[in-house]
Amino acid sequence: MSYTVKLVDFPDAPADVIATAESRFRRELDKLLGDSVEPALKAFENASESSADELTKDELALAATWAKAYEAAKTAGFRALGEADEAYFEIRLD
């Protein structure tokens, strides 16, 4: 499983600060999901694009797990940065 994390729309932050935030985000996501990052992200994307009756209970549970893990990782990533209204972490599967 390979993926990249990018902090998007965090204006005027130095590159090293952004890299540190991205690293904190990824560490937290890896800690919470381990090898399930890719399937959890895919389940979340499927759930976002489908109705609940089109998904299995396992897919719904995995999508919910992604949402919780993402929020925890986001909190870790923004620690010591503060919030920016439009900023978010983008995850891309390689």
Residue with the bigger pLDDT between 14 and 83: it is: 14
Please state the pTM of the whole predicted model.
Answer: 0.89
Q: Could you tell me the CA-to-CA distances from 6 to 9, 26, 47, 88, 90 in Å, in that order? A: 10, 10, 23, 8, 5
Grade residue 51 by pLDDT with cuts at 50, 70 and 90.
confident
Grade residue 1 by pLDDT with cuts at 50, 70 and 90.
low
User: Is the confidence at residue 50, as pLDDT, over 70?
Assistant: yes
Report pLDDT for 4: 96
